[in-house]
Structure 1
Protein backbone atom coordinates (compact mmCIF):
# COMPACT_ATOMS: atom_id res chain seq x y z
CA UNK A 1 0.00 0.00 0.00
CA UNK A 2 1.40 3.40 -0.98
CA UNK A 3 1.78 6.12 1.61
CA UNK A 4 0.18 9.49 1.05
CA UNK A 5 2.47 12.45 0.54
CA UNK A 6 0.07 14.44 2.71
CA UNK A 7 0.52 12.50 5.93
CA UNK A 8 -2.32 10.10 5.19
CA UNK A 9 -4.97 12.80 5.32
CA UNK A 10 -5.46 13.23 1.59
CA UNK A 11 -6.07 16.54 -0.09
CA UNK A 12 -8.09 19.05 1.88
CA UNK A 13 -10.35 21.23 -0.25
CA UNK A 14 -11.31 24.48 1.39
CA UNK A 15 -14.05 26.90 0.48
CA UNK A 16 -12.76 29.70 -1.77
CA UNK A 17 -12.35 32.87 0.33
CA UNK A 18 -10.33 36.08 0.01
CA UNK A 19 -10.33 37.81 3.43
CA UNK A 20 -10.68 41.39 2.27
CA UNK A 21 -12.55 43.78 0.02
CA UNK A 22 -11.29 44.22 -3.51
CA UNK A 23 -12.52 45.65 -6.77
CA UNK A 24 -13.37 43.20 -9.53
CA UNK A 25 -10.74 43.66 -12.25
CA UNK A 26 -12.35 41.48 -14.92
CA UNK A 27 -15.19 39.04 -15.47
CA UNK A 28 -16.18 36.52 -18.13
CA UNK A 29 -15.08 33.07 -19.26
CA UNK A 30 -16.98 31.63 -16.31
CA UNK A 31 -15.15 33.56 -13.60
CA UNK A 32 -13.66 36.74 -12.15
CA UNK A 33 -10.29 38.40 -11.50
CA UNK A 34 -9.61 40.46 -8.38
CA UNK A 35 -6.62 41.23 -6.13
CA UNK A 36 -4.21 39.66 -8.66
CA UNK A 37 -6.11 36.36 -8.38
CA UNK A 38 -8.75 34.59 -10.40
CA UNK A 39 -11.76 32.55 -9.42
CA UNK A 40 -13.77 30.24 -11.64
CA UNK A 41 -17.48 30.34 -10.80
CA UNK A 42 -19.80 32.80 -9.10
CA UNK A 43 -18.85 35.14 -6.23
CA UNK A 44 -20.23 36.76 -3.11
CA UNK A 45 -18.46 40.01 -2.22
CA UNK A 46 -19.21 40.73 1.43
CA UNK A 47 -17.76 42.89 4.22
CA UNK A 48 -15.96 39.74 5.49
CA UNK A 49 -14.30 39.15 2.12
CA UNK A 50 -14.86 37.57 -1.25
CA UNK A 51 -16.32 34.07 -1.21
CA UNK A 52 -16.87 31.46 -3.88
CA UNK A 53 -20.62 31.09 -4.37
CA UNK A 54 -22.69 28.37 -5.93
CA UNK A 55 -26.42 29.07 -5.89
CA UNK A 56 -28.50 25.90 -6.15
CA UNK A 57 -30.24 27.20 -9.29
CA UNK A 58 -28.94 30.53 -10.67
CA UNK A 59 -32.19 31.01 -12.59
CA UNK A 60 -34.32 30.62 -9.44
CA UNK A 61 -32.49 32.22 -6.50
CA UNK A 62 -33.80 31.62 -2.98
CA UNK A 63 -33.05 33.08 0.44
CA UNK A 64 -30.96 29.97 1.21
CA UNK A 65 -28.55 31.08 -1.54
CA UNK A 66 -28.03 34.29 0.46
CA UNK A 67 -27.42 32.86 3.96
CA UNK A 68 -23.92 34.43 4.09
CA UNK A 69 -25.33 37.79 3.01
CA UNK A 70 -28.02 37.63 5.68
CA UNK A 71 -25.43 36.71 8.32
CA UNK A 72 -23.65 40.02 7.58
CA UNK A 73 -26.81 42.11 7.07
CA UNK A 74 -25.87 44.60 9.81
CA UNK A 75 -22.93 45.77 7.64
CA UNK A 76 -24.76 45.81 4.28
CA UNK A 77 -27.11 48.48 2.96
CA UNK A 78 -27.00 47.69 -0.76
CA UNK A 79 -26.77 44.26 -2.38
CA UNK A 80 -26.04 44.22 -6.09
CA UNK A 81 -27.09 40.97 -7.72
CA UNK A 82 -25.43 40.20 -11.05
CA UNK A 83 -28.01 37.91 -12.65
CA UNK A 84 -25.81 36.71 -15.53
CA UNK A 85 -25.89 38.10 -19.06
CA UNK A 86 -29.41 39.49 -18.80
CA UNK A 87 -31.42 41.32 -16.19
CA UNK A 88 -34.01 39.18 -14.41
CA UNK A 89 -36.09 40.25 -11.44
CA UNK A 90 -35.39 38.77 -8.04
CA UNK A 91 -38.12 36.45 -6.75
CA UNK A 92 -40.58 38.36 -4.52
CA UNK A 93 -39.96 36.07 -1.54
CA UNK A 94 -36.20 36.70 -1.73
CA UNK A 95 -36.67 40.48 -2.00
CA UNK A 96 -38.93 40.38 1.06
CA UNK A 97 -36.36 38.46 3.15
CA UNK A 98 -33.59 40.87 2.16
CA UNK A 99 -35.78 43.93 2.79
CA UNK A 100 -36.71 42.55 6.23
CA UNK A 101 -32.96 42.32 6.98
CA UNK A 102 -32.54 45.99 6.00
CA UNK A 103 -30.87 45.28 2.66
CA UNK A 104 -31.86 47.01 -0.57
CA UNK A 105 -31.31 44.48 -3.39
CA UNK A 106 -30.75 45.63 -6.96
CA UNK A 107 -30.70 42.97 -9.70
CA UNK A 108 -28.89 43.76 -12.94
CA UNK A 109 -26.70 42.03 -15.49
CA UNK A 110 -23.41 40.78 -14.05
CA UNK A 111 -21.43 43.32 -16.09
CA UNK A 112 -23.49 46.25 -14.79
CA UNK A 113 -23.33 44.87 -11.24
CA UNK A 114 -19.51 44.58 -11.38
CA UNK A 115 -19.14 48.17 -12.60
CA UNK A 116 -21.58 49.52 -10.00
CA UNK A 117 -19.95 47.48 -7.22
CA UNK A 118 -16.52 48.88 -8.05
CA UNK A 119 -17.82 52.47 -7.92
CA UNK A 120 -19.67 51.98 -4.62
CA UNK A 121 -16.70 50.13 -3.11
CA UNK A 122 -14.39 53.03 -4.09
CA UNK A 123 -16.84 55.39 -2.34
CA UNK A 124 -16.56 53.20 0.80
CA UNK A 125 -20.29 52.46 0.78
CA UNK A 126 -21.88 49.57 2.72
CA UNK A 127 -22.19 47.49 -0.44
CA UNK A 128 -22.17 43.75 -1.08
CA UNK A 129 -22.58 41.82 -4.30
CA UNK A 130 -23.64 38.43 -5.56
CA UNK A 131 -22.26 37.82 -9.04
CA UNK A 132 -23.41 34.93 -11.22
CA UNK A 133 -20.52 34.05 -13.52
CA UNK A 134 -20.93 34.58 -17.27
CA UNK A 135 -19.11 32.91 -20.16
Structure 2
Protein backbone atom coordinates (compact mmCIF):
# COMPACT_ATOMS: atom_id res chain seq x y z
CA UNK A 1 0.00 0.00 0.00
CA UNK A 2 1.36 3.41 -0.99
CA UNK A 3 1.66 6.14 1.59
CA UNK A 4 0.00 9.43 0.71
CA UNK A 5 2.19 12.39 -0.18
CA UNK A 6 2.85 14.53 2.86
CA UNK A 7 2.72 18.29 2.27
CA UNK A 8 4.90 20.21 4.73
CA UNK A 9 5.49 23.87 5.34
CA UNK A 10 8.28 24.97 3.01
CA UNK A 11 11.64 24.98 4.77
CA UNK A 12 15.25 24.72 3.58
CA UNK A 13 17.57 24.11 6.56
CA UNK A 14 20.45 26.34 5.57
CA UNK A 15 21.47 29.63 4.03
CA UNK A 16 21.64 30.10 0.28
CA UNK A 17 21.74 33.01 -2.14
CA UNK A 18 18.79 33.63 -4.43
CA UNK A 19 19.69 32.57 -7.98
CA UNK A 20 16.65 34.16 -9.65
CA UNK A 21 13.21 35.56 -8.85
CA UNK A 22 10.02 36.56 -10.64
CA UNK A 23 7.00 34.87 -12.22
CA UNK A 24 5.61 34.19 -8.76
CA UNK A 25 8.62 32.54 -7.18
CA UNK A 26 12.31 32.18 -6.38
CA UNK A 27 15.14 29.80 -7.29
CA UNK A 28 17.86 28.91 -4.77
CA UNK A 29 20.01 25.87 -3.90
CA UNK A 30 18.99 24.06 -7.13
CA UNK A 31 15.33 24.30 -6.07
CA UNK A 32 12.39 26.56 -6.81
CA UNK A 33 9.70 27.93 -4.53
CA UNK A 34 6.42 29.57 -5.52
CA UNK A 35 5.41 32.34 -3.14
CA UNK A 36 7.16 34.65 -0.69
CA UNK A 37 10.18 33.71 1.46
CA UNK A 38 11.76 34.41 4.84
CA UNK A 39 15.55 34.04 4.75
CA UNK A 40 16.71 33.49 8.34
CA UNK A 41 19.84 32.16 10.09
CA UNK A 42 17.98 28.89 10.79
CA UNK A 43 16.97 28.41 7.16
CA UNK A 44 14.68 29.49 4.36
CA UNK A 45 10.94 29.38 4.99
CA UNK A 46 7.84 29.82 2.87
CA UNK A 47 6.01 33.00 3.92
CA UNK A 48 2.30 33.59 3.41
CA UNK A 49 2.43 37.28 2.43
CA UNK A 50 1.67 38.73 -0.99
CA UNK A 51 2.14 42.25 -2.31
CA UNK A 52 -0.24 44.64 -0.57
CA UNK A 53 -0.71 42.54 2.58
CA UNK A 54 -0.21 44.47 5.83
CA UNK A 55 3.31 44.29 7.25
CA UNK A 56 2.54 43.38 10.85
CA UNK A 57 4.60 42.29 13.84
CA UNK A 58 2.83 38.92 13.69
CA UNK A 59 4.00 38.39 10.09
CA UNK A 60 7.60 38.78 11.32
CA UNK A 61 7.27 36.69 14.51
CA UNK A 62 9.76 34.07 13.32
CA UNK A 63 12.29 36.88 12.70
CA UNK A 64 11.94 38.15 16.27
CA UNK A 65 12.46 34.60 17.59
CA UNK A 66 15.90 34.62 15.92
CA UNK A 67 16.72 38.27 16.66
CA UNK A 68 19.92 37.45 18.57
CA UNK A 69 21.49 36.21 15.32
CA UNK A 70 20.28 39.06 13.06
CA UNK A 71 21.81 42.52 12.68
CA UNK A 72 20.14 43.61 9.42
CA UNK A 73 16.65 42.75 8.16
CA UNK A 74 15.98 43.43 4.49
CA UNK A 75 12.31 43.61 3.54
CA UNK A 76 11.50 43.18 -0.14
CA UNK A 77 8.05 44.74 -0.34
CA UNK A 78 7.20 43.67 -3.90
CA UNK A 79 7.54 45.68 -7.08
CA UNK A 80 7.42 49.01 -5.25
CA UNK A 81 9.07 50.21 -2.05
CA UNK A 82 6.65 50.37 0.87
CA UNK A 83 7.63 51.95 4.18
CA UNK A 84 7.48 49.75 7.25
CA UNK A 85 4.77 50.67 9.76
CA UNK A 86 6.15 52.62 12.74
CA UNK A 87 5.29 49.88 15.27
CA UNK A 88 7.09 47.22 13.19
CA UNK A 89 10.15 49.44 12.72
CA UNK A 90 10.18 50.07 16.49
CA UNK A 91 9.96 46.32 17.19
CA UNK A 92 12.98 45.70 14.96
CA UNK A 93 14.89 48.46 16.81
CA UNK A 94 13.91 47.02 20.22
CA UNK A 95 15.38 43.70 19.09
CA UNK A 96 18.64 45.30 17.93
CA UNK A 97 17.85 44.80 14.24
CA UNK A 98 18.36 47.46 11.58
CA UNK A 99 15.46 47.20 9.09
CA UNK A 100 15.52 48.34 5.48
CA UNK A 101 12.50 48.16 3.16
CA UNK A 102 13.11 48.13 -0.60
CA UNK A 103 11.69 46.55 -3.74
CA UNK A 104 12.04 42.77 -3.78
CA UNK A 105 14.60 42.91 -6.61
CA UNK A 106 16.83 45.33 -4.70
CA UNK A 107 16.41 43.29 -1.51
CA UNK A 108 17.46 40.07 -3.29
CA UNK A 109 20.59 41.70 -4.72
CA UNK A 110 21.51 43.28 -1.37
CA UNK A 111 20.87 40.01 0.51
CA UNK A 112 23.12 38.04 -1.84
CA UNK A 113 25.97 40.53 -1.36
CA UNK A 114 25.61 40.62 2.43
CA UNK A 115 25.34 36.82 2.62
CA UNK A 116 28.54 36.49 0.56
CA UNK A 117 30.23 38.83 3.07
CA UNK A 118 29.08 36.53 5.93
CA UNK A 119 27.05 39.34 7.49
CA UNK A 120 24.32 38.66 10.09
CA UNK A 121 21.57 39.38 7.56
CA UNK A 122 18.01 38.12 7.24
CA UNK A 123 15.42 38.96 4.61
CA UNK A 124 11.74 38.82 3.87
CA UNK A 125 10.92 38.69 0.16
CA UNK A 126 7.39 39.33 -1.03
CA UNK A 127 6.97 37.47 -4.30
CA UNK A 128 6.81 39.36 -7.61
TM class, shorter-length: over 0.9
Q: Please give the TM-score of this superposition, normalised by the length of structure 1.
A: 0.90
Rg larger in structure: 1
Q: Given that residues 58 and 132 in structure 1 are in contact (C-alpha distance below 8 angstroms), is that contact kept between their aligned partners in structure 2?
A: no
Q: Given that residues 77 and 126 in structure 1 are in contact (C-alpha distance below 8 angstroms), is that contact kept between their aligned partners in structure 2?
A: yes
- The superposition leaves residues 75-99 of structure 1 with CA deviations (integer Å, 9 ceiling, x where unpaired) of 0000000000000100111111111
Number of the residue aligned with 1:37? 31
Relative to structure 1, the CA distance from residue 48 to residue 58 in structure 2 (aligned partners, 3 Å threshold; closer, same or farther) is: farther
Q: Please give the TM-score of this superposition, normalised by the length of structure 2.
A: 0.95
The answer for unaligned runs of 5 or more in structure 1 is none
Number of the residue aligned with 2:44? 50
Shift of 1:58: 4.3
Shift of 1:57: 7.4
Number of the residue aligned with 2:84? 90
Number of the residue aligned with 1:123? 117
Number of aligned residues: 128
Q: Distance in 1 between matches of 2:91 and 2:50?
A: 17
Q: Distance in 2 between matches of 1:100 and 1:55?
A: 23
The answer for unaligned runs of 5 or more in structure 2 is none
| Structure 1 consecutive aligned stretches of length 4 or more whose deviation exceeds 6 Å | none
Number of the residue aligned with 2:54? 60
